[in-house]
Amino acid sequence: MDTVMTMLLIFIVLAACIGGLAVIQKREKEKEALRQQIAKFKYRANQASTILSNVEMLPVGTETRQIVLQYILGYLNAIQKLSPHDLSANNNIQSVKKALEKPQSPVDSQSLVIPNNPQELKLQINRLTNLAKFISKLKTSPAVTSTLIPISIQKIMSLVSESKICAYIQQGKNALSEHKYVPAQRLFTLSQDMLDKIPNKNARLTQLQADLQELIKSTPADALNTALDFNEEATPEESEQSGTEDSTDELFGPKKKW
């Protein structure tokens, strides 16, 4: 009888241990899932913050800055719900809210600066293009003001077009310096075609269009001696031009990889 009772007691203890272990494992899995979710949201917020900081000194417009800040705030709020005591998220929420009160930047009223270094200009084009792609993915996101997205994309793509035109002209001038007249003329013609598609040109593009017409019909020697100034002063009201370009995750839309 004592043996039976001992065996029964051992069985009960083992069952309790197994049950307790299962509960502990379940809780650990839930904690790990929560940590992964928070890490994902932080990654998204940091990614958006990096994209915005990369174009901080470019006139991308108030709409673009507001959209990205709203997107970041959406993720920070989600982190706060999952982890109310996350001091970093709480502090960042206050910072982003303050930035959203006045999202405009003085640089937005200035003309686009075109780097003289071809690699820097290429980097600028890539950053603007990535920004446009990022903004276009937020069309169905409830975290941002969707009516601002078309305005934002149009402004960004106008900057992309302006940068590309200047890049092609730079390449054309380099080709001329190497006495490669035919490739240079092709690049100048490509730039001219892009300019023709822009209805509202700023001061820089208007001047470049006139200069290009002379370059295209000039002799190699004359073309080589023609100076093109990419960074002429342009008034803010002249700096508007056209440009168009036409996924999200489980929080703001269809799920996507991160």
pLDDT at 68: 97
pLDDT band, very low/low/confident/very high, at 30 (cuts 50, 70, 90): confident
pLDDT at 213: 81
Of 149, 137, 136, nearest to 254 by C-alpha is 137
Q: Where are the domains of the chain?
A: 33-236
When the pLDDT of each residue in the chain is averaged and rounded to a whole number, the result is: 82
Mean pLDDT score, 110-117: 92
203-217 vs 181-196: helix crossing angle, rounded to 10: 140
| Rg of the chain (C-alpha set) | 28
- For the chain, the first-to-last Cα distance in angstroms comes to 62
pLDDT at 220: 63
Give the pLDDT confidence of 151-168 residue by residue, as tens digits: 999 999 999 999 999 999
Residue 226 has pLDDT above 90, yes or no: no
Residue 183 has pLDDT above 60, yes or no: yes
Mean pLDDT score, 187-205: 90
pLDDT at 129: 96
For the entire predicted model, the pTM comes to: 0.76
